[in-house]
Structures are given as C-alpha cells and as structure tokens.
Amino acid sequence: MTAAPEFGPAIPETAAPEVEFISLSHLNPSTELNPIPSRGIDLKYFRRYVRSLEEGGYDYTLLPYGSNSADSFVVASAVGQLTERLRPIVALRPNTTFPTVGAQKLATLDQLTEGRAVVHLISGGSDAEQARQGDYLAKERRYARTSEYIDVLRRSWTEPGPFSHDGEFYKFDEFGPGFAPYEAPIPISIGGQSAEAFQVGGEKADIFSFWGEPLDDLRSEIERVNAIARAAGRATRPRIWVTFRPIIAQTDRLAWEKARDYVAKVAATFERAAYHAQQYRGTTPQNVGSQRALAFADRSELYDRALWTKTAAVTNAAGASTALVGSPETVAAAILDYVDRGASLVSIRGYDTLADAVDYGRYVLPLVREELAHRAATGRRGTLQATHLGNYGADYAQHATAGQP
Ligand SMILES: Cc1cc2nc3c(=O)[nH]c(=O)nc-3n(C[C@H](O)[C@H](O)[C@H](O)COP(=O)(O)O)c2cc1C
C-alpha cells in the first residue's frame, strides 16, 4: 500500500482536458497467454477485432511494424475500410520507405479514410532487427534520420510546387506537388525513450509516446519533452500517449487472481520463446524504453494506484508490457491519474486481446469519459479516484500480495 494523495475537487493544473483511447490491432487470436503457432492473418478474427474496437468506442488503433510482421500500411488500409470512425496509426520505420513515398502512402491512406490517418515513426531500437532489413546506421543517428524524414513528410504534403532536397540522409530533385492529405496535416507520433528520441519528439512530433511508467517518472519525462519543445520555440506541446496492458475483473480481488494466473502463463510462453520468439531472446534490450521498464520492475512490483511491473519482468520488457490491475473502477481511476499528469492519449490492450478489447470498451472507457464530462461540465473533479483507491487503500494491498511468501 502506498500513501494516498489528495483526490479533492480541484482539477490538477497538469491535467489533460480530454482523453482519447488507442488499441493495437491483432491479426489472429494468438496471444502471449495462449500462443498459436501461426504468423498469418485470420481474416474473420481480424474483422471482428477491428469492428469490436469501433463498437467499443476506441478512437485509434496502432498497426505495429517489425521485420517479420504484416505490412502496417496494407493493414491500416484494411482497418480504414472496415470502420467508419476508428483512426489507423501506421508504425513506420524510416529505413523501410523513402520519405516522399512514405508521404504519398500516408496521404493516400488519409484520403481513403477521409482524414483518419496517423503515423508513428519508429527509429529502430535494436541493431539486429534493423540489420534484418539492411539498415546499418548507428542507433543515435537513426533519430537524426527520423528528424529529416519528418521535414520531408510535412513538405511533401504541403509544398504547392516541385522542390528538391539535399540532406544528410535523403536527396532528390524536383518532387512535387505530392499527393495531399484529405484536409488537415497527418499527425506524426514518435516512440522511443532515448535522449535522441526526446530531442526529435520535443522539437517536431505532434504526439510523443510512452509505455506505462510510475506517475512521477512519467510527469518528469513529460516536462522533459515540454522543455525541449519550448527551447525549440514551438507554440504547441506534443500530445502525450501512454500505454498499458490492463488486467481487469469484477473486483480488485478477482483481478489479482487473474493477474497471477496470467503472469505464470506469459512467463511460460516467453521461456519457451513461443511468441514472436525472434525479438525476445533474454539479452539486455538496446532500446531505452525497455531498459526503463526493466529498471522499474527491479525497483518494485507495484506502483501508485494499480501499476504492476511483473509482466514487464517476465517478458524482458519486449514491447508494451506494464499492467494496470483491478476492477474497472480502479483501472479507470488509475487511467485518470495519468490524465491528471498530462496524458491525453491512453493506449490499453489486454493480454486476452479480443475479450479484453470488448471488456474495456464496455466497462472502462465509459467511466473515464464520464469523469471527463463531469469535469468539463462542473470544473471540478468527480469522486471515482477518491472512492476506488486501489493500492492507496488497505484491501487492495492485501489482494496484491496474497499468496506471496
Ligand atoms: C507506443 C509505442 C509503440 C511502439 N511500436 C513499435 C513498433 O511497432 N515496432 C517497433 O519496432 N518498435 C516500436 N516501439 C519501440 C520504439 O519506438 C523504437 O524501437 C525506438 O527506436 C526505441 O528506442 P529508444 O527507446 O532507445 O529510443 C514502440 C514504442 C512505443 C512507446
């Protein structure tokens, strides 16, 4: 149990006034809980998954990218055609696509979805993974390339006539005018936690993304991004995206039973290297995001109201892995703690992928939205955070440690 902060009616100054929800699109029913040895697309499942997101009230879905994954652009285009409102976020590694071609593909997706396209630029967190597709640039330099990539993307979308470019990484002559986005510029998001990621994100990104971190750590990282944005003379600050893998059940006690069951299954899967095995061999990860997640897991299993790090520890923090554990009310209150620290984009994806997407849509999203509607209407904080204390209260702490030596 950790000491409870005040959850009085005053809305914190750092709070984001709105929140939107992100998921990640799974292509088949294989999960870390129950890996099915297939890398293929199960079309029926995929359709159902994507439509469940739309019905559940999600705003975005991330189409991740790896050298052995499906192509994120093609999948994003399918998402666009299967939904009316959901916004596909294409994960894109600059080394895989020349920037004017990337701009063209994104603008095409944006027109096909009437303005719903978003791009998440992945600079590359592992030398071995980058080398699989012929990229041998040193990790720190990859962010300089991302920075140049952003400039070319934006110019390709807006320049009314032909233009040439002679940069450190890209050179071309007389491109343009390129194919334009539907109406507004396409939002550009940056993932990565290294100093170089912060620099380019703070200077140029519309969105800067994190995996789930303890509240105070996240807040200081947000301040770091904002300071870089300010120093760069930006009038705006990047929106903050934070990612969790919630484990929910009807009560906190039941959620903890589920969490213990899940972590045993997930650990067994990773020991057998049965899920995306290529990326998860047990060496120290090169990307700072995973290193940070492992350091948090080392320091403590449980933080704040409901943040659980054991799922990161057993997966070598390969990809988003930190959980929020509790009843829908506790998890919604924990999400609001992050909104209070300045996060306005919340990604939640479960370990039981499809069932969790449906459950979050039914039980978690409405609670968070109700609270924000209450705040907008009254200028005051509601009572959810004060009444569902999670680890700020004694009962929860007992459930969390039940069965431990
Ligand atoms: C929300 C989020 C989503 C990500 N999605 C991907 C992805 O689809 N593919 C990938 O290779 N890396 C992904 N990453 C990882 C990193 O962005 C990327 O590998 C980065 O270069 C990590 O390096 P750094 O943390 O040392 O800066 C994601 C990170 C975040 C925070």
HSE of 228, CA atoms in CB hemisphere, 13 A: 18
Give tens-digit pLDDT for 90-144. Answer: 999 999 999 999 999 999 999 999 999 999 999 999 999 999 999 999 998 999 9
Report how far ligand 1's centroid is from the alpha carbon of 125 (Å): 6
Q: Which residue, by CA, sits nearest to atom 30 of ligand 1? A: 191
Q: Is the CB of 96 under 6 A from ligand 1?
A: no
Which pLDDT does position 39 carry in this prediction? 66
Indicate if the alpha-carbon torsion angle 341, 345, 351, 357 is positive or negative: positive
Given a cut of 70, whether residue 389 has pLDDT beyond it is yes
Q: Is the CB of 91 under 6 A from ligand 1?
A: yes
DSSP-derived letter for residue 364 is I
Q: Which residue, by CA, sits nearest to atom 8 of ligand 1? A: 64
Out of 266-275, 325-334, 340-349, pick the least confident: 266-275
Given a cut of 90, whether residue 2 has pLDDT beyond it is no
State which amino acid sits at residue 172: F
Given a cut of 60, whether residue 405 has pLDDT beyond it is no
65 CA closest ligand 1 atom index: 8
Q: Is the CB of 212 under 6 A from ligand 1?
A: no
Per the CB < 8 A criterion, the answer to whether 9 and 381 are in contact is yes
Q: Is the CB of 351 under 6 A from ligand 1?
A: no
Which pLDDT does position 280 carry in this prediction? 52
Query: 4: closest CA among 372, 251, 333, 403?
Result: 333
Beta strand ranges found along 36-162 (DSSP E): 60-63, 87-92, 118-122
Which pLDDT does position 402 carry in this prediction? 76
Given a cut of 80, whether residue 12 has pLDDT beyond it is yes
Give tens-digit pLDDT for 263-310. Answer: 999 999 988 876 765 455 567 898 999 999 999 999 999 999 999 999
Distance CA 359, CA 304 (A): 23
For residue 109, give every residue at least 6 positions away whose Cβ sits within 8 Å of its Cβ, in sequence order, or none: 73, 76, 77, 80, 88, 90, 117
Q: Is the CB of 191 under 6 A from ligand 1?
A: yes
Which pLDDT does position 107 carry in this prediction? 98
405 by Cβ neighbours in 10 Å (0-12 / 13-18 / 19+) ranks as: exposed
Out of 67, 69, 122, 294, mutate this one to test ligand 1's pocket (max ligand atoms within 8 Å of CB): namely 122
Helical packing angle, 215-231 and 328-340, nearest 10°? 30
Distance CA 4, CA 266 (A): 31
Report how far ligand 1's centroid is from the alpha carbon of 388 (Å): 32
Residue 240: how many other CB atoms lie within 10 Å: 24
Given a cut of 90, whether residue 404 has pLDDT beyond it is no
Give tens-digit pLDDT for 157-183. Answer: 999 999 999 999 999 999 999 999 999
For residue 233, give every residue at least 6 positions away whose Cβ sits within 8 Å of its Cβ, in sequence order, or none: none
3-state secondary structure at position 156: helix
Given a cut of 60, whether residue 231 has pLDDT beyond it is yes
Which pLDDT does position 16 carry in this prediction? 98
Q: Is the CB of 25 under 6 A from ligand 1?
A: no
**Overall pTM > 0.85:** yes
Mean pLDDT of the chain: 94
Domains of the chain: 20-401 (3.20.20.30)
- In Å, how far are 82, 311, 312, 388 from 301, measured between CA atoms? 39, 9, 10, 20
Report how far ligand 1's centroid is from the alpha carbon of 192 (Å): 5
Distance CA 4, CA 6 (A): 7
HSE of 115, CA atoms in CB hemisphere, 13 A: 4
The residue-averaged pLDDT of 330-335 equals 98
% the chain with pLDDT above 70: 97
Per the CB < 8 A criterion, the answer to whether 212 and 242 are in contact is yes
Distance CA 263, CA 268 (A): 8
